[in-house]
Structure 1
Amino acid sequence: MTTVFRHTEPLPPRSATGTVAEAYAQIRHDFGIADPSTFVVLSSTPELLASAWALMRESLIAGPGGRTGKELVALGVSLANRCPFCVDAHTVLLHATGDHALAERLARGETPADETHARLVEWGRRTREPGAPLEPYPFPREDLPGYLGTALSFHFINRIASALLTENLLPGGAQRFRAVRSVVGRSLTRTVRRTARPGASLMLLDPVDAGESPAWAGGTPVGVAYAALLRAAMRGAALLGADEHEVVEAALQDWDGSHPPLTGDGFPDRREHPGARLALLAALAPYRITEEDVAAWRTREHSDHCLVHLVAYGAFVAVDRIESSLSTRITLEAP
């Protein structure tokens, strides 16, 4: 039977208990999609699932800023990261906001006719480049936690999707058809237009010290969710040896946001440093992770839980490189 999952076999959502079951219930209510694969694939690691959902919810769904604008930023991020699964998802969600012509213009690969919409997509694209100039913002400055939180959320989700899911958002690639995109989007309209209460997802998380929340979040729940995801994702570092840590850190220190060239490999040898190879692929080119890469690292001791943690660690190392390059220059002024 075909499956959307690559390299792992998550348990069916109906068997979920505890935090995972509670997160699924929130996702169904606030996102409008029952058991989306981008979160189901994280279910072997409840803390990752809960914190990844929390960051997306508190920024994209409940955070400051308009939903259409944040969907455009998320789409720009997904284009920059070459994640067709997420590009298609945000095209469908733009239909849900009621912006049907805009959704189809983007589905055709065209630039939005509205200048502000075009600037939002481009702003999302530029966030992939550590240190890229992002001001002036194409949105009110007081909405920065919602927009930047959305961008960072999808820099993480894009990498998880590209590494551990196939490219098909819907069975058989049905999202390629305009009528299907429109119908699916319209089915989510009521949920997308519903006002969500900020902070509701924080009940799923372990307590976070106030000092861990980044300054750009301005004391909003977005910062708590970001700190929780950072903590959960970095636990995957324990799966690497000290020498592999050095390889990963050295590669990310000089990363400029570019995609690795297809000619030549440029990644650690899978026989000598299979863990470092997987982590760096997850960070820089998750769409290039192969069965051979996974098999070279995986032993009897490495469960799906371990693989998801390692991929999440690599994904978040890239997110952290992007965020840290921004946080040194961003100060959120009172509106």
Structure 2
Amino acid sequence: MSTLFRFTEPLPPEAATGRVAEVYEQLARDFGIDRAATFVVLSSAPEILAPTWALMRESLIAGPGDRTGKELAAYGVSRANKCPFCVDAHTVLLHATGDHALAERLARGRQPEDEEHARVLAWGRHTRVPGAGLMPYPFPREHAPAYIGTALAFHFINRIVSALLTERLLPGNAQRLRPVRSLAGRSLARTVRRSAVPGAALALLADPAPGPAWAAGTAVGPAYAALRSATAAGAGLLDADEQALVRETLWDWDGSHPPLAWAGLPDRREHPGARLALLAALAPYRITQEDVTAWRRPEHTDHCLVHLVAHGAFAAVDRIESSFSLHAARETS
């Protein structure tokens, strides 16, 4: 299993204790995958692992709305972020919902035949551009907390996966074969189609706050607020000038993928921490061993690296989320 991980060596799931073990227990019950590498890679930082799982669970799994629709939104987000691991995962999960034809159309690079599905997919993809995915929603307004939460959860998870995991969802990339995708999806079908009680993941959070207005009082809000708070701690790994650089770069970001000749990317010898944070935010798939080595010192454990990558990743999520919060504030004023 360790070959899935880049730059860190998480403890085996069977060695988990405390809050990490509790997350794995919920993963097995509500997600159907008890050793999902997407979450194991965060296990050296339980304070980030728990709200990441909570945000995904309370939006994608337990939140209101059609699971197929939310999987389509997550698929669109993953495509926009160039995360092959998550694209493959959501193709399998679409099979698990029973929408086999839809899953295979997407796997072949085609658009959904159903217009509503196509609009949801496009909405998910456009959320990478701050403000572009706001209105009109391609889903009922009362389902917005779950759809927005799903999109934001995967803007974060995509970046973690691209930075810290390989692209291989299954051994030998077997998920690229149609029979394997279908079989893997069917193995998860019972769990995916079972209703989950909202709010169960909030017990894993230390002191959940109400969360943003767009969450409309649902369990998605405290999960999002907890992840924002947890990832903010990674700023302590950067000096004041580096923190300002990350903030300013994200404020000016238009949702595009940076060019290979990225003039604003700090040199790894001068500001390796800021470089890692900005890559995690905007191009996590371009993080190299050289980038990590330039930053790492004896005191920089896997826990530190997870915090730094998570801080950068959430900086992009927060920039995207700000548009939803602004819109919600205008609606209530």
Q: Deviations over 1:49-93 (max 9, x none)?
A: 110000000000000111000000000000000000000000000
Name which of structure 1's ranges 303-312 and 1-10 shifts more when overlaid on structure 2: 1-10
1:74 paired with 2:91, answer no
Q: Which residue of 2 aligns with 1:107?
A: 107
Q: CA RMSD in A?
A: 1.4
Q: Deviations over 1:168-213 (max 9, x none)?
A: 1001111110000000000000000110000000110011233xx1
CA positional deviation for 1:262: 2.0
Q: Which residue of 1 aligns with 2:291?
A: 293
1:175 paired with 2:161, answer no
What letter corresponds to residue 241 of structure 1 in structure 2? D
> Which whole-Å CA distance do the structure 2 matches of 1:2 and 1:301 have between them?
22
Query: Is the 1:141–1:333 Cα contact (8 Å) retained in structure 2?
Result: no
The alignment's TM-score, normalised by the length of structure 2, stands at 0.97
The alignment's TM-score, normalised by the length of structure 1, stands at 0.97
> Which whole-Å CA distance do the structure 2 matches of 1:192 and 1:79 have between them?
22
> Which whole-Å CA distance do the structure 2 matches of 1:241 and 1:200 have between them?
37
Q: Deviations over 1:255-294 (max 9, x none)?
A: 0000001245541000110000000000000000000000
Equivalence map 1:1-335=2 (5 Å):
3-210=3-210, 213-264=211-262, 266-330=264-328
Query: Is the 1:129–1:322 Cα contact (8 Å) retained in structure 2?
Result: yes
> Which whole-Å CA distance do the structure 2 matches of 1:171 and 1:203 have between them?
34
What letter corresponds to residue 229 of structure 2 in structure 1? R
> Which whole-Å CA distance do the structure 2 matches of 1:94 and 1:331 have between them?
34
Query: Is the 1:162–1:286 Cα contact (8 Å) retained in structure 2?
Result: yes
What letter corresponds to residue 53 of structure 1 in structure 2? W
Q: List, as ranges, runs of 4+ consecutive aligned residues in structure 1 with deviation greater than 4 Å.
A: 331-334
Query: Is the 1:142–1:333 Cα contact (8 Å) retained in structure 2?
Result: no
Find the residue that maps to 2:328 and give its secondary structure.
Answer: coil
> Which whole-Å CA distance do the structure 1 matches of 2:157 and 2:327 have between them?
24
Query: Is the 1:216–1:332 Cα contact (8 Å) retained in structure 2?
Result: no
> Which whole-Å CA distance do the structure 2 matches of 1:291 and 1:81 have between them?
21
What letter corresponds to residue 314 of structure 1 in structure 2? G
Counterparts in 2 of 1:2 and 1:45: CA distance versus 1, 3 Å: closer
CA positional deviation for 1:149: 0.2
> Which whole-Å CA distance do the structure 2 matches of 1:166 and 1:71 have between them?
22
Query: Is the 2:123–2:133 Cα contact (8 Å) retained in structure 1?
Result: no
> Which whole-Å CA distance do the structure 2 matches of 1:209 and 1:84 have between them?
33
What letter corresponds to residue 163 of structure 1 in structure 2? A
Query: Is the 2:76–2:124 Cα contact (8 Å) retained in structure 1?
Result: yes
> Which whole-Å CA distance do the structure 1 matches of 2:295 and 2:329 have between them?
41
State the aligned residue count.
332
Q: Deviations over 1:149-180 (max 9, x none)?
A: 00000000000000000001001111110000
Identity %: 72
Q: Which runs of 5+ in 2 are unaligned?
A: none
Q: Which runs of 5+ in 1 are unaligned?
A: none
> Which whole-Å CA distance do the structure 2 matches of 1:292 and 1:99 have between them?
42
> Which whole-Å CA distance do the structure 1 matches of 2:275 and 2:201 have between them?
33
Query: Is the 2:58–2:219 Cα contact (8 Å) retained in structure 1?
Result: yes
CA positional deviation for 1:326: 2.1
Counterparts in 2 of 1:264 and 1:310: CA distance versus 1, 3 Å: closer
